[in-house]
């Protein structure tokens, strides 16, 4: 099964009213890479916050996300944070030490092709 990797970008905008056009221009440039967009700000019947947060789910990988966040971070009053979720192929070998302790050795390859091996001792 081919699992899709996820890239989530959180955008904090300190002055939504002033920065809306600049931020929207960048988001429009990357419109085909934005799978999901959610905008949040505090609001009530008599108050609307100047600050806002936009959450994006992107397609196109890490390079496209970096290009987008670099452009957004260049706007004074905007900051971004990016979360990457990756799918890895792995295999584990169980080595018994006793009836209660064991060592799992797992090797895996990341999406970028890097190979890793880790050993985890489990004590019960």
Residue spans per domain, the chain: 6-85, 89-123
Q: Which residue has the higher pLDDT, 109 or 75?
A: 75
Would you put residue 46 in left (φ > 0), alpha (ψ -120 to 50) or beta?
alpha
Cβ(14)–Cβ(62) under 8 Å?
no
6-85: CATH number: 3.30.70.1150
Q: Residue 101 has what pLDDT?
A: 59
Would you put residue 61 in left (φ > 0), alpha (ψ -120 to 50) or beta?
left
Residues in the chain: 124
Q: Which residue has the tokens 């797992």?
A: 106
d(CA 81, CA 63): 14
Q: Which residue has the higher pLDDT, 93 or 114?
A: 114
Q: Residue 2 has what pLDDT?
A: 45
């Amino acid at each position: 099964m081919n699992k899709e990797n996820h890239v989530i970008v959180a955008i904090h905008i300190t002055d939504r009213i002033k920065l809306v056009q600049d931020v929207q221009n960048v988001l429009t440039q990357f419109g085909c890479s934005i799978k999901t967009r959610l905008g949040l700000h505090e609001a009530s019947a008599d108050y609307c916050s100047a600050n806002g947060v936009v959450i994006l789910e992107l397609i196109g990988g890490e390079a496209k996300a970096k290009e987008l966040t670099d452009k957004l971070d260049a706007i004074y009053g905007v900051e971004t944070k990016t979360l990457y979720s990756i799918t890895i192929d792995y295999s584990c070998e169980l080595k018994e030490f006793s009836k209660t302790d064991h060592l799992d050795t797992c090797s895996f390859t990341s999406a970028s092709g890097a190979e890793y091996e880790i050993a985890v001792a489990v004590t019960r």
